[in-house]
Amino acid sequence: MYTGDHIAISATLAAIASRRFSLNYVTLATCMILANLVDLDHLFYFHLDDGTANSLLLHPLHIYSGILVFACGVFALIKKEKAMFSFLIGFAIATHMCADSLAHFLHYNYTSLFIYDMLELVLMFFVFKKCVCYGSHLKLFSFMVAQDILITFAQWLSLIQWEPQKEIFVYILPNILLVIATSLFWLIFKSKIEMHHSRT
Ligand SMILES: [Zn+2]
């Protein structure tokens, strides 16, 4: 899956979770989005990857991601007050793997991914509309859509412009953009977004 989509889906799931478990949205979303930095391991085997490879068979952090999810579970058992937070970071890693599996299943077909993108944006809109009570959900939604389009486009452009097996930059770029987008999100929205808290 493209980096912009990973960010959008992490931000959406963080909104549901922060509402359900009364957690700070911006902190949780920042950590869940940064969990997608597992894509840094594309750097190890970039010479084997044409941009459509099955990461779960090729890239070490993806292959051993089960250990990361397990570590989050163990940390949750040790630090009771951080249990939910830690489980959710593990959930973000598991979601990343799920999205990569789906993208490979769809053969990274642009039309299929576009349909997936549209469904994801509709879901994100309704989740933000339902969950965000203080601070404009439209502003948050617009920010996430803008970063999704910009990062996905930059990644797609780098894949078709350079030979992915020769240019490690193709895989460095999305991670740099992920960190920049997350930092901007944190700076713009910290203390500005509050969630409706679930009563159950
Ligand atoms: Zn990945």
Q: Percentage of the chain surpassing pLDDT 70?
A: 98
Q: What residues have CB less than 8 Å from 121, skipping those under 6 apart?
A: 8, 145, 148
36 found inside a domain? yes
Please tell me the distance from the alpha carbon of residue 72 to that of residue 86, in angstroms, as a whole number.
5
102 found inside a domain? yes
Q: How many domains does the chain have?
A: 1
125 found inside a domain? yes
Q: Percentage of the chain surpassing pLDDT 90?
A: 72
* 152, 3 Cβ separation under 8 angstroms: yes
42 found inside a domain? yes
Predicted TM-score (pTM) of this structure: 0.93
Position 47 confidence tier, pLDDT thresholds 50, 70, 90: confident
Distance 66 CA to ligand 1 centre (A): 13
Residue 1 has pLDDT above 60, yes or no: yes
Residue 49 has pLDDT above 90, yes or no: no
Distance 39 CA to ligand 1 centre (A): 5
Question: Mean pLDDT over residues 55-62, rounded?
Answer: 88
Token pair, residue 5, equals 């989509």
Scanning the chain, the segments in alpha helix (DSSP H) are 3-20, 25-34, 55-58, 60-63, 65-78, 83-105, 110-131, 137-161, 169-189
Distance 192 CA to ligand 1 centre (A): 30
Please tell me the distance from the alpha carbon of residue 78 to that of residue 133, in angstroms, as a whole number.
33
Residue 162: domain span: 3-195
Token pair, residue 84, equals 């939910």
The residues with which 195 forms a beta bridge, in sequence order, are: 132
161 found inside a domain? yes
Question: Mean pLDDT over residues 119-129, rounded?
Answer: 95
Residue 200 has pLDDT above 60, yes or no: no
Distance 96 CA to ligand 1 centre (A): 6
200 found inside a domain? no
- Give the chain's mean pLDDT: 92
